[in-house]
Structure formats: C-alpha cells, structure tokens
A and B are shown apart, each in its own frame.
Chain A
Amino acid sequence: MIPLPEAGGFLPLAILLTSLLVSPVLFALPEHNARLRTALNLGAATLKLALVAWLSWRVSRGAVYDIGFTVLPGLNFKLQADPLAVLFVGLSAVLWLITTVYSVGYLERGPHRARFFGFFSLCVAATVGIAMAGNLFTFLIFYELLTLATYPLVIHNGTAQALRAGRIYLVYTLSGGLLLLLGTLGLWMLAGNTDFAPGGILDAVIADSPRMAQALFVVLIAALGVKAALVPLHAWLPIAMVAPAPVSALLHAVAVVKAGAFGIMRVVYELFGIEATHALGLAEPLAAAAAITILYGSLRALTQDDIKRRLAFSTVSQVSYITLGVALASPIAATGALAHLIHQGLMKITMFMVAGNLAEGLGVKKVSQMNGVGRAMPFTMAAFSLAALGMIGLPPLAGFISKWFLAQGGLDAGQDWVIALLLGSSLLNAIYFLPMLYRAWFLEADRPAESPPPGTPGRPRIGWMLALPPIATAAMVVFAGAFANAPFSPLDWTRFVVAIEYQE
C-alpha cells in the first residue's frame, strides 16, 4: 500500500517527525520534570535544524524528495521538499529553536508546561507539514492540525479573556478550514488531483470553465486569507494577543499567518499558475485586497496603545506584503514576497519577544509606558529598534531588501501604484514605530522609583533565555539585510525558488 520512497525520501518525514513524535512524549512527561523536558525540546529542535540544513543542502543540489501514500482513491497524502517548502521549513526550524529557548525561559515556573510544550511541538510539526505538503489535501490536513494545536496555546492562560480570544480564533480559523475543505474538494472535482506543481495544474479547467476556476480561486483565497489575516478576515489576530509572548511570537512570525500566506503562494503559483491567475483577472483583486490590508493594518496600528496589539496590526499589514508580491505578475515581486516571508518572520518574532521581555522585566505593556525603557533594557531595546527600523524599511536591514524587491517588482509589472503604496505604508510604519523608539530612548522614565516589580532592585533581571533570543533574531535581521546576496541567504534561496516557480 505504502510505496517505499527512495532512499532519501525519509528525510522530510524525519523532519516532520522530530517535532510530531516529541509531542506525545512531552504530554506524557510529568509536570515537574522540567529538565528532561527542556532537554527534549532543545534536542529535537536542534536535530531538526540539522536535518533541515542537510535537506536544504541536498535540495540546492537538485535532489527531489517525495513521500506519500494513498488515502482515498486518487487522493494522496504527500510530502515533498521542493525549494519553496525548504524555505518555509528552514524558517520554522530556526525560529522554533529560538522560540523554544525563549519559551523555556518565559514559562520557567508557569503552570501546564507539559501541555504547552506538547502543543508547541505539535504546532511546529503542523507548520512543517504545511510547508512540505505536496498537495492541497495534505496541506489541508496540516492546516487544520495547526488550528487545533494553536488553540490550546492561545488560551494557555485559562482566563475568561483568553477563552474568548480562543473562541474567536477557533471560529475564524475553523470556518476558514471548512472553506479550504470546500476548496480542496472543488479542486479535486475540477482538476482531478490536488498536487502542487510549478505552473499550475488547472490549465484544462481554466480553458473549459473559467467561471468555476474563478469561484474556486475566491474560495481558496478566502479560506487562506483567514489565517493570512487579509482584511476583513483579520479580526481574530489582534484578539489572539492574549496568548503568552512566545505563542504570539510564533503565531505571528512563523506558524499561523505565514501558513496562510504560504498557502496563498502555493495556490497562486502551483495550483493556478501565475499566467492563468492573471488571465482570469484574479491577480488584480488579490493585489487590491493586499493593498487595502496593508494600509488598513497600518492605520489601525497607529492608534493602539497596547504594544502587542500594535504589533498585531502591524502583522496584519506586513503579511499582506507577501500576498501583494505574489499577486504582482513579476518574478522580482515574487522574490520580494518570498524574502518577506522570512524577513517579516525574523523582525516580528524579535519584536514580540521584546514585548514579552518588557512585560516580564518591567511590567510594561503599553506604548505609553515605554518612556525610558531603553535605558532599563538596552540590549533588548536595541534588538527591538533594529527590528522596527527594518520594518520601516531602512537599509541595510532585512525589511529594506524585501520592500526594494517589491517596489521593483511593481515597476516591472507595470503597477506603479505599488511604489506609492509602499511609500505610504513605510511612512505609516515610521509613524507608529518611531514614537516607540523615541519614548524608549529619548524620554525619561516617568515611573516612580518604587514601581519596579518587587525583588528586582535596580535593573530588571530577566534570564538569559529571555534576553538572548531577541538579540539573536535581531542579528539575523541585520545579516539577512546586509548579506542579502550571500549564498544561502534568504534572498538567495528566494531567487532559486522563484526561478522554479516562474519556470525560467
């Protein structure tokens, strides 16, 4: 029944299983056995990183990994490690390791750690599955798994507020999942299979019944748009902020929103094909939706006082850069979009971890409380500043690279308005990020001297497990921007992927 894969075919499976198998073990571990849990977590994450490194090396050499078996007649469960998948897998592997370190520090004495790390691993497994899904059906399976795995994380605190957020999250994402199910079904009915293939698989259908193809596209994008937080399907994202900081970081940087954006990529590039998407007149509406989301998210971010909410709206805005880049019919824009997938992840995870650190170390949760925090936590805030400047798009940080390529792509595609959009968005980014930096670095702390949390005289003490991860990711932000042209940089890999997707 299960065809034996070629000798190397187990590598994707192994990468998936490193987190999938460790999850039940983590569930089963007694709550108090923290040391073993940490060791397991870090071990698995490191192992996965190593495997991914090996995988990407092999894939860059042209190796093809493919493993699967039949679920229903004609319908396969299929994992494949194409370069696009490796890009996303790499991101999740790197950030999983970092976030794991951070979570261990963050939840040092918190409750339900067994549960937390169990679902955390499951969440990463789902992300990896999404990345390596070889067809939409497999994608759907992991997409739903991701929803289920993140729900307990979102409501981890167990408060009424958290549960409300969790409920809204579930309603949105599972409705999206249901739509995706419908879309997958439709795809299967129309095309006869659901495989991802560069250039798309729907040519015959598009030629036959373009209306159906259009409807399918709308359904799929709406389904994925929920997780990608396309306006107006974004409402769950800011509310889900009640989750613990590492969860928010993971949600925003890698797991959930990226899953949506990645799915949109797969749909446009590998189910419909770019030319077909344009021929059907679907790219422009998608780009428009992305543009609206970019502006809307930024505008809403302006007025948020809660740091995490501001960051959340910023995510709404930033993730749509990816969609925008996908929707523009230009390989250059695609490069920008793919690079932004990575870059935004790096930047946003930094910011969320810093937000967590501020809350942990200083009790600062609002922008208006940020006066003088730069002096209190200089390294942390330096990381934040780098990420924020990157978001604004200052060279040579990572955000600049992606915005540059997006702008170039807009020109290349003859959509000059993209430049105006990017400028406007950058301006808005600056408007909502710079005041935070200004407060942090240039204003005196207005908090009374006795207000730091008890037991932490003088400078706030946060463990190295909390302090290091954001610094590390901030460093990556710098490197991804400064050495964008180096081999195996995100940009470099991105070009590799785009060359395949555009079949150049």
Chain B
Amino acid sequence: MTDLLLLFDMLLGLLIIGLAVAALRVRDLFAMVVMFVTFGLMTALAWVRLAAPDVALAEAAIGTGVTGALLLKTLYHLRRVSGTLHLPEALSERPPDPQVPRAVIAANAVMCGLVVIGLAAAFVTAPLGGPGFDAAVADAMPESGVDHPVTAVLLNFRAYDTLMEVVVLLAAVIAVWLVERSLPQSDPPVMGEVYEGFARLVLPGAVVVGVYVLWAGAVAPGGAFQGGAVLAAVGLLLLMSHVYEPAPAHRAAARGLFVLGVAVFTGVALLVAWGGRAVFEYPPGLAKPLILLIEGMVTISIAATLAALFHGREPGVQPRPADTSEGAQ
C-alpha cells in the first residue's frame, strides 16, 4: 500500500517536472497555458498527498484557476493586438532583445542544475518533519476562536501576514489600473451564447458554494481565499458573459469593495487594541465572530479584486484622447 502510494508519488513528481519543462518548451503559447494549468492541478493533487487540502484548494482555485484565466486573457489580448488571432498557433512574441549566445544559455543551464543539486543536498540533510509549529498551534487552538488550524493561523496567529497579503492584492489592483489606464477598450474574449446561458444558470449555485467554502474554513479546509476565488470566478463569468458591464458610476463602489477587506481587517485589529490589548488580539469571547466578520469582508474584497485583476481596466474610463475630465468625476 505504502509502496504503491510512494510509486504514485514518484510518478506524479516526474509528471509535475515533465509538465514544468513542457510548459517552458512548448511552442504554442496556448498549449503552454494549458500545460501550466495542468501542472497546477497536478501540484494540487500532490499537496493533497502531503496532507495539505487547504493549500491544494487554494492552488487549484487561485494558483491555477485565476492565473490560468489571467494568462489566457493576456494571450488573447496579445494576439488580438498583433492581429494573429486567426493563426492556429499562438507563437511567442519576439521582444527586441538580441540573441543570447547558446554558450551563455548552456552555462546558465549548468549552473541552475548545480544549484538544484546543491539545494537538494541541503534539503536531504535537513531534518525533514522535524521541529515545527505543531505543538504551539495545538496549544493555542482553543483560544483561537476557530476550529480549523490553517484558518486559525491565517486569521489569528499570523493575521498580520494575511492583512498584508490583502494589501498586496490592493496594491496589485491599483498597479493594474494604473498600467491599463487609457488603454483602448478591449472586449473580453467572446464566449458566445452558451456561456451566457451557462453563467445565468451557474451563478446562484457558485455563490452558494463560495459562501460555503468560506464558512467551512472555520472548521475544515476552505476559507476566505478559496471562497473569494470561487466568487471571483462568478465575477469572471459575469464579465465574460456581459451580464455585468462595469460602468463609470461603479468606480467608487469598486474602490470601496477593494478596500473593504483591508479596512475592516485594520479596523478590527486596531479596535481590539483599544482595550489595552495588543493589535490583532481578539477579546476571548469575540474571536469567532470577529474572525468571521473579517473573513467575510476579506472574501468580498478578494472576489472583487480578483475579478478586477482579470478585467484589468478601471471601469468606464474612456481611452485617450477623450479622457480629459478626470478631475470632475
């Protein structure tokens, strides 16, 4: 049994490596993205084997799902701008770099290989499964307010990290808006009637699933990020199926949604400190509701942010040169 599973592990590992290589080597960029998504799913599978269902869920939803969608959208955009949509293969764009000599590439390859060997040596010599936070987490679980250790870590023990993670998302969306500003309106990939109908059908269910995943995070694998990703998928569908068209008037609301999670998280963190506690130190009885509040708000923010990252442009801003009255919004 164990040996069989180990064999499976080995094969999966090789498959993952093969997919990674293939994703870098394959000529067609579309195929590359497909390889990458497959790679992500295999990774998630591997993590399930490593007893990390939360991570696997996050990887499948965000690392693979959202990233894949973003890559595909970008690929579509690039091909549309280049006028190569009609071609059967999506080939690499050629940046105006000069050719790097093969010798240099080979040298880099050799050095990367040696680095891998070195790191592997270090990994093998490390005390695998050695010291960790297990005991500390187990001790602190009763006071955490939640039952699922990963959620406890995310929203209580290391809530500061999580806050900053949401801040990263906020920074990303600001940066994306900044970069994409005054870019001509690009239609999202045309999905057609089927998608639209599919979207209308699936949406309510997906919302329910998302909220459940969020809720379940308190006791079982799942949580804000995964839930947010599911909800974001809803947003993606909405956007792609033109059920929802971002309008200029929604900008303020969008901004509000983006910062909602951060604001609530920050507010709670600081407010609990009012009573002489440390920042993020939830009062004993209020831990669960506060965490749930934060999780909920963060989920909404994440969903909105991920959708916005996918959509790219700030809603409603007209492409240049019509855009002259920003100050009067």
Direct A–B touching, Cβ under 8 Å: no
Residues of A near any B CB (own CB < 8 A): none
Residues of B near any A CB (own CB < 8 A): none
